[in-house]
Structure 1
Amino acid sequence: MRMLRTAALVGAIAVSAAACGGASDNNGNSGPSGGGNSPTPYQTVALTPPGKGNMASATWSLYAEPQTLDYVAAYDYPPNTVLANVCEQMLRITPDFKIAPGLAEKYEHPDPLTWVYTMRQGVKFHDGTTMTADDAVASIKRHIDPANASSWSTVFRDVTSVEKTGPMQVTIKTSKPDVLLNEQLAASPGTVESAAFLEKTGKNYGNPSAKVNCTGPYALDSWNTGDSMNLKKFPDYWDKSLTPKIDNVKLVFISDPSARTNALLSGEVDGGYMLATNSYEKLGSSGNGKLYFGANTGGYNAAVTNLNGPLGDVRVRKALSMAIDRKGIVNAALDGYGKPAKSLLIPDAFGIAPEKGKAASAALPELTRDVDGAKKLIQEAGADGKKIVVVTSNLAQEISVSANAIQQAGKDIGLNVELKSVAPDAYTALFTDPSTRDGIDILVTNSYDMTPDPLEMLQTLHTGDFGNYGKWSNEEYDKLVDQALATTDDNARADIALKLQDILLREMPGIPLFESPYSVFMSNKITGATPTMAMMSYPWAAQLGSAS
């Protein structure tokens, strides 16, 4: 899923913290040290030590306040970090990044165009009412209704009907095969909200006054605009294996990276995800807590948002890619804690076939810098002196550093690259409002998956998709996406994903920049948080508990 990560990109340092699960270094090899393209070693872990005892309260930091908690607009880190604990989906993403039953206890696929879901009996919403199939139908239909402008509408583009077909049964029909539709019901597209609550709150649903009414292990107790939210343990939660150990989790909004670091170091805040890279040394050596790194399903790239200008010529896109100093970006933006990307997909995006993803990534050549070769391509394309506009922002260091590197690359090969600086809020709007991208040729973004399937990100470059910012269109690519959507075997679908990757490397509708793992810090008081991208859908706070 092509989304902006509106915080400083996570990177990595070597950490001495003990961890559960396997660990791998920044080359994908087990062991304590990295190497390769990154001068800094680090380990990733699958899990953190489980929470042990009960606690009355804990405080967690968010780098930004969610604009809304309406699940149809949950298309970025802050709202999903909250909703993962409050709302639940038809299916569930597990901490090991697999898809499992969720509010639907089972699903069937009787024919290529039909998905049948049997909902769990006795599940309670936070207001005490009982979930039914009607709630699931109403919740899904909100994505399909154009009046709601769902950020996930393209997930349902092939859906012809969503109906209650039994007391606790929901049937979805599609016009063509779509395996990814089923998988994405484990993320925001599959959220189930009370139909009565949706009708009652109307357009106020998900805002600070109306809030939400879901089925998760925590209920949204209060929302103090501009300051914090409080999540309260839900005593009637159905999944006893995820009964929270902490009664109240206060989520505080701290947008300034230095202030977040200080709050964590002082113990004012017990934990947080997605920390500024320049805080790693302090946090990792403070003794006040532990810093962990986990699998990340996405990397940063320069998305081409205008194919009507010079970048409409693939030679210009390739030339710009050839001229970018990726190692320089990693050093300047991440203090060396990361590595240059080889493609728009990274190995951890292949949750459906992990070994295949790792092997394919290892076989890919580095995107080496070749300024002379790039100059020749610019001359061949007749693009010498042509203007390209790259948007930049002080929202996060990796955005401004990347934009500056792209500008320098353009200058080195004869392009006139102009930087357009926008405020943080305006930068975020670029990903949801197409009109804000007028006059912009390149947008630095993070493309990641919320499910274990690389097709989730890959299908956003299908002709007409919401995340296809440059309206790039390739008939060969579209046919392969459709073929993948009809392929139920995971390994076979991964093979198609690799073919799609080859096309993206050949055509460059997005220019790969760099990648790094996920980060989480927890004070010495608590432990248990999911350290991977699974926390975007999985109730990570329900795993928290005292460290002793």
Structure 2
Amino acid sequence: MTDIRSRRGRRRGALLPAALAAGALVLTACTAAPETSGTAPEFELTSQTTEPSGDIDSFTWATYAEPYSLDYAYAFDYADNQILSNVCESLLRLNPDYSLSPGLAESFANPTPTTWVYEIRPGVTFHDGAPLTAADVVASMQRHLDPAVGSFWYSVYQNVTSIEQTGDLEVTVTTAVPDSQFNQGLGGAAGVIESAAALAAAGADYGNSTGLVDCTGPFELSDWTSGESITLTRFDDYWDPSLQAKAGEVRFVFLGDPTARINAMTSGDVDGGWMLPVDGIPQLQATGGEVSFGLTTAVNDLVVSNLEGPLGDVRVRRALLMALDREGILSAGAGGYGEVSNALTTPSVWGGASDATREDAFSGLEEYPHDVEAAKRLIEEAGATGQKIVIATAPITNEFTVVSQATVAAAKSIGLEAEIETVTPSAYTALFSDPSAREGVDLFFTTWYLSSPDPLEMFAVLRTGEFSNYGGWSDAEFDDIATEAVGTADPEARAKLADRLQHIANEELPWLPLSSSPTTVYQGERITGVAPSIAFLYFPWAATIGAR
């Protein structure tokens, strides 16, 4: 969501910048755009690191923040899900290559356009020893429909009319309309299954440091010391031998300061961490450990949140994107790790598409090269010279600073007036959930990642009236295609429709795409085995780590 992932209530998918991932920095006004400095760093994408030599008693992992909650209904951010993914499991499993495979549902079927039937895996036990039943599945899923819960994942369930046990180990979900995206969303937190007894016993304390959780994953949650750490211990009765945990214990320590995080890793006090502060990568690469770069589904965007002002004219949106030195922003904000993007998705979520369709989705896109003079002409043509835009930002990461300052400088360079409105991190998070928080704000930054292997997750939220369509953008052709795609079961046919949506979004720019950067992870000299991928938010990644 800030993809901190903001507490975007009622929306599908993953979103925001890695809020707090690089620590809080004071933002100051600036009129100079960042310049590309030096040569972009060289890096290679890695799908899997070295196989462990054996098990390990324990390892320690750094996370930039304490989880907001480990209740799966509210687990909507990096800090929450990177821990929960090792403890709780979903009906489907989202793998490191962003494919879906059976999870707690050993099979599923779509016998009619509006029904999904899940056969629940037998022989699975919760951490307290109780067997997994269909009743647990029904109770877990129905929480997303309960207004009193207020699930952050309600949008996955927005078309669901009933969730019923239809056999000893069978659950049937009925939707009001054909919804291909419902099943796609069950590989993430929206598909997590918890013990019905544990939910009832914990009540309002479920998922916090007092109530904890009771799930089926390769680790169980054994301790949560507020403000300090969370400890997981290996669950010896885990059902899947291929993901039996190699570590007896994992301790997550909360280190909000990026310098402290890097120092803890280089000293060996901490064995690893995700989402590395980019200025610390060279330091980590000089240790006996390993920095890896992996698959991402995230795109850094400027969300256009006000179409009543100058940005309501597509010519102004195009001009602003052309005025932005996106290569310079990537260099200054992300250390040059990544590439400029002209699309709102990455190829990694087009797994259901043929090679030809995937290639077409990313070809022929308008590139919006850095051209201030051409951008000025568009502003003059739109009659927008002298009009004002406001960019919201917060002291979250260096990238926020770079993007906000570069956007103001770019706007001024083409004849617009522009100013930065700096708010607190919590107020920034509210931009994603509270329309009143966006009043008077024309643009804000996000790192929007997808939680399912389907680009339609991105485009569906840009339909007219959708919760996460923050600027109220509306395009009748886009709406018609997106709605048709949601109801299309065949992955290739759906991808062809998404291809058209990607090109419309590229032309109309409801959000301004900036760049995409790889997922980063560090493993110290004691450990190895992780698959570098943004799927760490939903896949039990810690189970694969053992002794180097």
* Structure 2 counterpart SS, 1:72: coil
Q: How much has 1:284 moved relative to structure 2?
A: 1.4
* Cross-structure match for 1:26: none
| Counterparts of 1:454 and 1:248, CA distance in 2 | 36
The amino acid across from 1:279 in the alignment is: G
| Counterparts of 2:84 and 2:164, CA distance in 1 | 25
* Cross-structure match for 1:198: 199
The amino acid across from 1:470 in the alignment is: G
| Counterparts of 2:197 and 2:89, CA distance in 1 | 17
**Superposition pairs of residues 298-317 of structure 1, within 5 angstroms:** 298-317=298-317
| Counterparts of 2:202 and 2:492, CA distance in 1 | 44
* Structure 1 counterpart SS, 2:45: strand
Preserved CA contact (<8 Å) 1:8 1:275 = no
* Cross-structure match for 2:367: 366
* Cross-structure match for 1:376: 377
Q: How much has 1:400 moved relative to structure 2?
A: 1.2
Determine whether 1:132 maps to 2:144.
Answer: no
| Counterparts of 2:433 and 2:226, CA distance in 1 | 22
The amino acid across from 1:339 in the alignment is: E
Q: How much has 1:432 moved relative to structure 2?
A: 3.3
The amino acid across from 2:346 in the alignment is: I
**Superposition pairs of residues 131-170 of structure 1, within 5 angstroms:** 131-170=132-171
The amino acid across from 2:522 in the alignment is: F
| Counterparts of 1:5 and 1:75, CA distance in 2 | 12
| Counterparts of 1:210 and 1:450, CA distance in 2 | 27
Q: How much has 1:354 moved relative to structure 2?
A: 7.2
* Cross-structure match for 2:70: 69
464-473 or 66-75, which deviates more:
464-473
Preserved CA contact (<8 Å) 1:9 1:334 = no
The amino acid across from 2:245 in the alignment is: P
Unpaired runs of 5+ residues, structure 1, are 11-36
* Cross-structure match for 1:5: 17
Q: How much has 1:362 moved relative to structure 2?
A: 5.1
Q: How much has 1:205 moved relative to structure 2?
A: 1.5
* Cross-structure match for 1:293: 293
* Cross-structure match for 2:477: 476
Preserved CA contact (<8 Å) 2:394 2:422 = yes
Preserved CA contact (<8 Å) 1:296 1:349 = no
Unpaired runs of 5+ residues, structure 2, are 1-12, 23-37
CA offset digits 1:256-299 (Å, max 9, x no partner)? 1111111110000001010011111111122x200111111111
Determine whether 1:60 maps to 2:72.
Answer: no
* Structure 2 counterpart SS, 1:148: coil
CA offset digits 1:90-114 (Å, max 9, x no partner)? 1111222211000011001111111
* Cross-structure match for 1:240: 241
| Counterparts of 1:168 and 1:38, CA distance in 2 | 57
| Cα 1:38/1:538, change in 2 over 3 Å | farther
518-527 or 123-132, which deviates more:
123-132
Q: How much has 1:411 moved relative to structure 2?
A: 0.3
Q: How much has 1:454 moved relative to structure 2?
A: 1.1
| Counterparts of 1:456 and 1:316, CA distance in 2 | 27
| Counterparts of 1:357 and 1:197, CA distance in 2 | 44
CA offset digits 1:117-139 (Å, max 9, x no partner)? 01111211112222111111111
| Counterparts of 1:358 and 1:43, CA distance in 2 | 21
Determine whether 1:330 maps to 2:330.
Answer: yes
Q: How much has 1:491 moved relative to structure 2?
A: 2.2
* Structure 1 counterpart SS, 2:222: strand
* Cross-structure match for 1:537: 538
| Cα 1:173/1:510, change in 2 over 3 Å | same
Preserved CA contact (<8 Å) 1:60 1:270 = yes
* Structure 2 counterpart SS, 1:42: coil
* Cross-structure match for 2:348: 348
| Cα 1:475/1:393, change in 2 over 3 Å | same
* Cross-structure match for 1:283: 284
The amino acid across from 2:323 in the alignment is: A
CA offset digits 1:118-173 (Å, max 9, x no partner)? 11112111122221111111111111122222221111111111111111111011
Q: How much has 1:359 moved relative to structure 2?
A: 5.6
Preserved CA contact (<8 Å) 1:113 1:176 = yes
The amino acid across from 1:4 in the alignment is: L
The amino acid across from 1:207 in the alignment is: N
Q: How much has 1:7 moved relative to structure 2?
A: 4.2
Q: How much has 1:365 moved relative to structure 2?
A: 4.6
Preserved CA contact (<8 Å) 2:97 2:295 = no
**Percentage identity across paired residues of the two chains:** 46
Preserved CA contact (<8 Å) 1:151 1:432 = no
| Cα 1:402/1:223, change in 2 over 3 Å | same
403-412 or 138-147, which deviates more:
138-147
CA offset digits 1:308-331 (Å, max 9, x no partner)? 222222222122112111011012
Q: How much has 1:489 moved relative to structure 2?
A: 2.4
* Structure 1 counterpart SS, 2:466: coil
| Counterparts of 1:533 and 1:354, CA distance in 2 | 22
The amino acid across from 1:534 in the alignment is: A
CA offset digits 1:149-206 (Å, max 9, x no partner)? 2221111111111111111111011111111110111111111111122122222221
* Structure 1 counterpart SS, 2:183: helix
Preserved CA contact (<8 Å) 1:430 1:436 = yes
* Structure 2 counterpart SS, 1:43: coil
Determine whether 1:339 maps to 2:351.
Answer: no
| Counterparts of 1:478 and 1:319, CA distance in 2 | 25
Preserved CA contact (<8 Å) 2:14 2:76 = no
* Cross-structure match for 1:395: 396
| Counterparts of 1:439 and 1:54, CA distance in 2 | 55
* Structure 1 counterpart SS, 2:281: helix
The amino acid across from 2:451 in the alignment is: M
* Cross-structure match for 1:221: 222
| Counterparts of 1:362 and 1:265, CA distance in 2 | 42
Preserved CA contact (<8 Å) 1:5 1:77 = no
| Counterparts of 2:94 and 2:232, CA distance in 1 | 21
| Counterparts of 1:485 and 1:52, CA distance in 2 | 45
Please give the TM-score of this superposition, normalised by the length of structure 2.
0.91
Determine whether 1:184 maps to 2:185.
Answer: yes
Preserved CA contact (<8 Å) 1:95 1:538 = yes
Preserved CA contact (<8 Å) 2:365 2:506 = no
The amino acid across from 2:477 in the alignment is: E
| Counterparts of 1:354 and 1:185, CA distance in 2 | 23
| Counterparts of 1:358 and 1:517, CA distance in 2 | 20
| Counterparts of 2:382 and 2:368, CA distance in 1 | 21
| Counterparts of 2:400 and 2:359, CA distance in 1 | 27
**Superposition pairs of residues 31-110 of structure 1, within 5 angstroms:** 39-110=40-111
CA offset digits 1:201-230 (Å, max 9, x no partner)? 222221111111111111111111111100
| Counterparts of 1:537 and 1:335, CA distance in 2 | 27
